[in-house]
Structure 1
Amino acid sequence: MTNQAKEKDECKDPPRPLTPDTSTPSVAVVSSSTSHAPAAHASAGDPVDFDELPGLPRLRYRILDYKAKLSVVVFLLVLESSLLPISLYYGLVLGTTLRHGIVFAIITSFFGIVTGIEFGLRCLKLIWMGDKYRPRGGTRWSFDFTHWTLSFGYTVMTAILIGASIPHNPLVRPLAIPVSLFFIQIGCQLVWAGWMSRTGRPAPCKISSVPKGGPVPPLVLTIVEDIVGVDGAGGREYRDSLLARYEVSPRFRYMIAQQNWFWAIGALIDGIGTMVVIWTVPEKVAYGVGWGSPLIFVIIWTTISVHWVRRSLRREKELWRAEHQQEKPRGSVNTQQTT
């Protein structure tokens, strides 16, 4: 069996492509406009001449162009969501005589500063920047699916932190669960979207660029579309090119489905496992586990995903080029026979 045949076997019955939104130019238009782009760095980081990949939309985004901003934001998020709570808790509890209520009041006051600023900027972009950052068919107040997901998650996390800090003797174990609870929420959403995509169920509501009643994509695709499109400044152009790529490439859809289940299972295992540990070990250990375990999980899963996606995209381009080169001679022979 040839390598091409093996690849086709692996991609059997991939998630269904998305139906283009009739309110915007069709995917075919996006495909034709991007397939003849000049040579550039593709999303996988390798130089690719897209003239050799006719019909394969180019993802017009290079993360290295935003490496300075990305590095600062990631560092601040890691500091806020893991390093700062752990260092303040153990530093103030073990190194000072401050009452625990004051300790957790200090820790809680720092939570949400970075995420709050990023969330506010997201709101401004989606409200005031017109269609530049909004998903297809989006209105000023509709936002995107990731925005609503984060709104719910952060609201629950903040409520737990405030409520468990109020008692004279703060509830340490509940104060250790917010991030793990958020992971369980995301994991359940990934499982739901993966199942809906696999079974071809219609969307019960608008999911970013997918209209109500359209085929539900794996949630990983929606998260990438929203995060890069808004927070990464990729804009509407990136949203369109990503959805066009998903529409025309079975191997791209297969990779997205794999990543969806990879992160779904990982998030649920880490979230549920961490919750079990939090409620079984001593309180002082539980707090460190609750805020440290998610960071370790994200580092491991992100590292694996980066290498996985790069390899998959590189293989996708190689096979797309090979298939096109094989189809070209057959087309010329048929033309000669008919003339």
Structure 2
Amino acid sequence: MPEVVRGSRASIQVDRTPLASPDGLGPSSPAREPRNVHFGPESPGLDREETPTPGLRGVDTGLSTMSGTERRKSREEARKQRKTEPERDAYYDSRAATKREFRRRASTLQEYYAQNPTLLPQLPFTWRHGWKRWKLFFTIFLIIVDACVIPIVLFYTMKFIGHIEGWIIFAVVATIWGGPTYVEFAVRSLRLWKKENFFRPLGSSNKWAFDITHWISVLTITAVTALLIVGSAPHIVWLRVLSMPAPAILYCIGGSVFALTMWSLSGKRAPFRISSTEKGGEVYPGVYYLIEDVVAVNANAGRPFREALAARYKASPRFRRMIKVQSLFWSIPSLIVAIACTVVVVIHPVSKDVAYGVGWGVPFVFIGIWVVITIPWVRHDMHKETVTWEEDCGIAPGTRQKEKQLQLEPTDSERETPKEPVPQPEP
């Protein structure tokens, strides 16, 4: 990951070259320079005259007062020493996508990578560690269970086991359906609406300038809610209408991704703001905006991820090709599956009960299969991207990892010479 210098935006060139990660999925981990930061009286370099005895802590002997004074002096000395130290470069790993790093940094990741064109921009988000990945995974899991499993299980169990009328079944289904989705949508809206610009698209400071994923979510939620209301309103429910919410999700999301991808391939400019793409700017394939918006807002990665993703897309031809291929791979089959489900649902020779299971189950089975295919495919492409980038820069594959290991190993001067055993006196 890049190293950004603290202080003003007056450019201070960083001499050290960060090391790229071998797979391109996460930040690199070069050897860090030691930071001479003291945390209190226990810090090295701060001598203490006396140490209070734990058993005398509650006794008024004057020693505790002396210890408190020494502690304050130690903290003041450490604070003064930190102020006198020169500004050091900040190592940017996955912590770059935090509000604390966002507030204190001196330049954006786009500016840094523009000044260092030989570096492959790294994304400050990883699935390998941290709470963010589990939070995003848990949210997606809840949405899928709520949107797919609950409608199917409730319908078939209540109808064929409980023998309950249809309007009662779908009164329950319509009440329960979409709870996690609505909550996550409300949280997402609040984050984009906040005064701070951490979650908003790049180049936007208007609290009403939502990203494109937010508007796609509005379209999807509106379509699904309308189908549930219209289908369950009559006393004798329209089961074929109630079988269409899952295909409607594929129509809205897959259709939006397909439209954005086709607009990008046509070379036309953006007719309005699309996430971080300003009006009149270059439109990217649809999957790019879904990745940018979901990770930046739903996974709390914020603007640093938007900046790094934009820098990566601009710098790497392989990354651009991967985004385009994934956009076509997801959008076209989504529309085909949605059309096929619609045909099965509306054909009257097919039983209503069978059509309901097909309409609710097949789209989510398709999504699961496509996810299983996409994960290893993307990992392979990003690994090849890193290898190709190093070869184009004249670096042998794996060299940076070897350099990293060499930097972590102590030099000859740092190694302590073995001490000779001290002869013991004879008894």
Q: TM-score, normalised by structure 2?
A: 0.65
**Which position in structure 2 is the counterpart of 1:271?**
338
**Which position in structure 1 is the counterpart of 2:308?**
241
Kept in 2, the 8 Å contact 1:145–1:222? The answer is yes
Paired residues, what number?
297
Work out whether 1:148 is the aligned partner of 2:212.
Answer: no
CA distance in 2, matches of 1:303, 1:47: 26
CA distance in 1, matches of 2:353, 2:176: 20
Kept in 2, the 8 Å contact 1:44–1:309? The answer is no
Q: CA deviation at 1:76?
A: 1.1
Is the alpha carbon distance of 1:116 and 1:37 closer, same or farther for their aligned partners in structure 2, counting shifts above 3 Å?
A: farther
**SS in structure 1 of the partner of residue 394 of structure 2:** helix
Runs (5+) with no aligned partner, structure 1: 1-24, 328-339
From 52, 57, 62, the equivalent of 2:126 is 62
Work out whether 1:290 is the aligned partner of 2:271.
Answer: no
Is the alpha carbon distance of 1:48 and 1:301 closer, same or farther for their aligned partners in structure 2, counting shifts above 3 Å?
A: farther
Q: CA deviation at 1:74?
A: 2.4
CA distance in 1, matches of 2:18, 2:245: 45
**Which position in structure 2 is the counterpart of 1:308?**
377
1:154-193 counterparts in 2 under 5 A?
Answer: 154-193=221-260
Work out whether 1:98 is the aligned partner of 2:158.
Answer: no
Q: TM-score, normalised by structure 1?
A: 0.82
Structure 1 range deviating more: 172-181 or 51-60: 51-60
CA distance in 1, matches of 2:363, 2:170: 20
Kept in 2, the 8 Å contact 1:53–1:317? The answer is no
Structure 1 range deviating more: 242-251 or 190-199: 190-199
Counterpart residue identity of residue 366, structure 2: F
Q: CA deviation at 1:311?
A: 0.6
CA distance in 1, matches of 2:383, 2:136: 24
Q: CA deviation at 1:71?
A: 3.5
CA distance in 1, matches of 2:20, 2:393: 18
**Which position in structure 1 is the counterpart of 2:287?**
220
Aligned-pair identity in percent equals: 35
**SS in structure 2 of the partner of residue 187 of structure 1:** helix
Greater relative contact order (Cα < 8 A, sep 6+): 1
**SS in structure 2 of the partner of residue 63 of structure 1:** coil
Q: Which has the higher helix share?
A: 1
**Which position in structure 1 is the counterpart of 2:145?**
79
Is the alpha carbon distance of 1:112 and 1:326 closer, same or farther for their aligned partners in structure 2, counting shifts above 3 Å?
A: closer
Is the alpha carbon distance of 1:47 and 1:55 closer, same or farther for their aligned partners in structure 2, counting shifts above 3 Å?
A: closer
Q: Which has the larger radius of gyration?
A: 2
CA distance in 2, matches of 1:261, 1:129: 36
Kept in 2, the 8 Å contact 1:86–1:291? The answer is yes
What is the alpha-carbon root mean square deviation over aligned residues? 2.6
Counterpart residue identity of residue 364, structure 2: L
Is the alpha carbon distance of 1:48 and 1:270 closer, same or farther for their aligned partners in structure 2, counting shifts above 3 Å?
A: farther
From 125, 133, 139, the equivalent of 2:191 is 125
